[in-house]
Amino acid sequence: MPVKITYFVHGTTTDNETDLATGWNPGELTKRGVEQSKELWKMVWGRPFEAVFCSDLKRASESAESTFGGKFPIIPDKRLREVNYGDFTGTKFSGFRDSLKDFIDMPFPNGESYRDVEKRVSEFLEFLRENYSGKHIAVVAHQGPQLALEVLLNNKTWAQAIDEDWRRKNEWKPGWEYILGD
């Protein structure tokens, strides 16, 4: 049976507000980010999640806890980490935002490629297929893992996923739905 996945992005961080690429750094939620996470619960209340999986990076785990803590089991998973920007970590994201497609197959200097993220997320999806068949789960993570879901589950190319990313158009919503088939 299929697994229904609802993906949520973590709350706003201090790096988001200053245009810094956080990558594998923990990241700090701003007061606004904490409030966003708390408000999200009001928007998704009543959805029957079996479990909530989140990146093991601080900004995602704190967002998951603020939204779902005490309501559903929250399971951190390092496969849901953001892409490792390597040498670009801590630099202005706007400085390389337009060249993300250069790192689909080629790793960021001293980091990883989007294909590396795809491999991690593919392993996570296989785990879900084996353990959560017929269930509805939530995921709280980052841009890279969400783009990998677009590639793996919505049959987009990496170039399409990057070009059509909601972040480019500022089209946030309280959850994106994905279906992991049999």
pLDDT of residue 74: 96
DSSP alpha helix (H) spans, the chain: 14-17, 31-44, 58-68, 114-131, 143-153, 158-163, 166-169
Give the three-class secondary structure for 98.
helix
Tokens standing for 164?
């059509």
Q: Are 161 and 76 in contact (CB under 8 A)?
A: no
Nearest to 84 by CA among 138, 15, 142: 142
pLDDT at residue number 173: 85
Domain ranges for the chain: 3-180
Ranges 61-75, 127-141, 162-176: which has the least confidence? 162-176
Please write the tens of the pLDDT for every residue from 150-178.
999 999 999 999 999 999 888 888 899 99
| 22-26, 144-148, 166-170: least confidently modelled range | 166-170
CA distance 50 to 118: 24
User: In sequence order, which residues have a C-beta less than 8 Å from that of residue 155 and are 6 or more positions away?
Assistant: none
For the chain, give the percent of residues with pLDDT over 90: 91
Q: What is the pTM of this model?
A: 0.95
Structure tokens at 16: 């988001």
What's the mean pLDDT in 57-76? 96
pLDDT given for residue 2 in this prediction: 97
d(CA 180, CA 106): 27
pLDDT score at 61: 97
β-strands 176-180, 74-76 pairing: unpaired
Q: Note the pLDDT of residue 172.
A: 82
User: What is the separation of C-alpha 122 from the centre of its chain, rounded to a whole number of angstroms?
Assistant: 13
pLDDT exceeds 80 at position 182: no
- In angstroms, the CA 4 to CA 156 distance is 19
- The residue whose two tokens read 């594998």 is 24
Domain at 3-180, CATH class: alpha beta
In 3D, which of 171, 149, 170, 173 has the Cα closest to residue 160? 149
Give the model confidence (pLDDT) of 27-42 as tens digits. Answer: 999 999 999 999 999 9
Angle at Cα 56 formed by Cα 177 and Cα 116, nearest 5°? Answer: 70
